[in-house]
Amino acid sequence: MSQYVVPAYPAYHVAPAKAYVPIAPVNEQTPYSFVYSVNDPSTYDVKSQAESSDGNGNVKGFYSLLEADGSTRTVEYTADDYNGFNAVVKKEGGYTSDIAYKPTAAPYKPY
């Protein structure tokens, strides 16, 4: 029976661990605002969004997109620490049909 020999590896220098120091306090919020939109007629990708925050936890914004039926869905939202997240969804335009679905009963045929 042969004995396994552990190869000798060179000792590597390990840098001492450094304490993590945050750049800014974790609970500090920064006001922000952004807007973007896409309008690509070749793929029918039409959407937009805007959002802003006052830096005190109050967020307000909206987004909209073109649905497959040609309608536009718009969502307006607000969020804060007191009321939480609230959204209002609207749908405008789109395909409408005057044809109502009327099921017809198939005649009974005994075997």
What are the DSSP calls for 22-50, one per residue?
Answer: -SS-TT----EEEEEEEEETTTTEEEEEE
Q: Is the pTM of this model over 0.75?
A: no
Among 77, 71, 79, 73, which Cα is nearest to 48's? 73
What would the mean pLDDT of 79-108 be, rounded to a whole number? 74
pLDDT score of 69: 86
For CA atoms 47, 50, 59, 55, give the dihedral sign.
Answer: positive
Token readout for 61 is: 């914004």
Q: If we measure between CA atoms, which residue out of 64, 70, 69, 66 comes closest to residue 51?
A: 64
User: What sign does the dihedral 9-13-16-20 (CA atoms) show?
Assistant: negative
Better pLDDT: 91 or 13:
91
pLDDT tens figures, 50-80 = 999 998 889 999 999 999 888 999 999 999 9
The residue ranges of every structural domain in the chain are: 32-93
Q: What phi, psi does 61 have (nearest 5°)?
A: -170, -175
Query: In this predicted structure, what is the pLDDT of residue 10?
Result: 65
Task: For residue 21, give both structure tokens.
Answer: 């120091």
What pLDDT is attached to residue 24?
62
Query: Which pLDDT band, with edges at 50, 70 and 90, does 91 fall under?
Result: very high
